[in-house]
C-alpha cells in the first residue's frame, strides 16, 4: 500500500470523525458568537434574528476555504483533494459542502459507499492526507491571496443562500 493511503475502513472511520468534529467545532465557534451578537441586538432593541441562521450556513458552506482544511481536517491531518490528488480549490470545497443539509444521508452514504460523501461526488473531490503541514491556522490564512476561485466561491455562496431562502419562503412556507 502506498504511503499516505489508508485502508477503506480506517478512512471511513476518520471521515466520520472529521464530519462529527466539524459540526462540534463549528457549533462551538458559532453558538457563542451568535449568542453574543443576539444579546447586543436585543439590548439595542433590534428584532428578527433570522440572520444568525444564514451566518451559520456561510460558515458551513465555506469551512474548508483556507488550505482546503476545516478545523477537524486540520486536527486529523486531512485536506480536500481533487481527482488528481492535488489540493482542491475553494469553489470545489464549497460545492462539496452544499450537500450538508442532507447530513444524515451523507453519513449513511459514507458508511455504505466505497468512495466518500455525496458532496465529494458532486465536486469531484475526496478527503485525503495533507499535502503540506503548517503548525497553525494563522500560517494558512496569512499568505492567502484572493483568486478567481475565491470570487466564484463568494458568488456561489450568495447565490446558494438566496436560492435556499427562496425555497424555504415559497415552497416550504417557513
How much is the pLDDT for 116? 74
Distance CA 129, CA 117 (A): 16
56-111 pLDDT, tens digit per residue, is: 788 889 888 878 888 888 888 888 999 898 999 999 999 999 988 888 888 888 88
Residue at 3 is within a domain: no
User: What SS3 string covers 110-154?
Assistant: HHHCCCCCHHHHHHCEEEEECCCCCCCHHHHHCCCCCCHHHHHHH
CB 25 within 8 A of CB 76: no
Structural domain count of the chain: 1
H or E, element range at 80: strand 78-82
The phi, psi pair for 50, rounded to 5°, reads -60, -25
Residue at 95 is within a domain: yes
Buried b (16+ CB within 10 A) or exposed e, 12-45: bebbeebbebbeebbeeeeeeebeeeeeeeeeee
Residue at grid coordinates 452544499: 98
The phi, psi pair for 168, rounded to 5°, reads -65, -40
Chain centroid to Cα 122, Å, comes to 14
Boundaries of domain holding 117:
8-135+144-171
How much is the pLDDT for 123? 93
How much is the pLDDT for 55? 77
Residue at 16 is within a domain: yes
CB 28 within 8 A of CB 59: no
How much is the pLDDT for 106? 85
Residue at 94 is within a domain: yes
Residue at 2 is within a domain: no
Residue at 25 is within a domain: yes
Confidence of residue 1 (pLDDT cuts 50, 70, 90): very low
Grid cell, residue 85, equals 490528488
Residue at 76 is within a domain: yes
Question: Residue 3: CB partners within 8 Å, gap ≥ 6?
Answer: none
Amino acid at each position: 500500500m502506498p504511503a499516505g493511503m489508508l485502508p477503506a475502513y480506517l478512512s471511513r472511520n476518520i471521515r466520520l470523525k472529521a464530519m462529527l468534529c466539524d459540526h462540534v467545532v463549528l457549533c462551538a465557534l458559532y453558538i457563542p458568537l451568535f449568542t453574543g451578537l443576539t444579546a447586543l441586538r436585543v439590548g439595542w432593541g433590534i428584532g428578527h434574528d433570522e440572520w444568525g441562521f444564514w451566518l451559520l450556513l456561510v460558515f458551513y458552506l465555506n469551512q474548508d476555504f483556507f488550505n482546503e482544511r476545516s478545523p477537524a481536517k486540520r486536527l486529523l491531518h486531512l485536506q480536500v483533494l481533487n481527482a488528481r490528488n492535488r489540493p482542491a480549490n475553494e469553489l470545489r470545497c464549497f460545492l462539496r459542502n452544499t450537500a450538508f443539509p442532507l447530513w444524515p444521508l451523507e453519513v449513511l452514504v459514507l458508511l455504505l459507499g466505497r468512495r466518500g460523501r455525496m458532496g465529494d461526488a458532486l465536486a469531484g473531490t475526496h478527503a485525503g492526507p495533507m499535502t503540506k503541514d503548517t503548525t497553525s491556522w494563522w500560517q494558512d490564512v496569512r499568505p492567502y491571496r484572493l483568486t478567481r476561485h475565491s470570487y466564484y466561491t463568494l458568488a456561489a455562496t450568495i447565490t446558494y443562500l438566496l436560492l435556499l431562502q427562496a425555497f424555504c419562503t415559497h415552497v416550504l412556507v417557513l
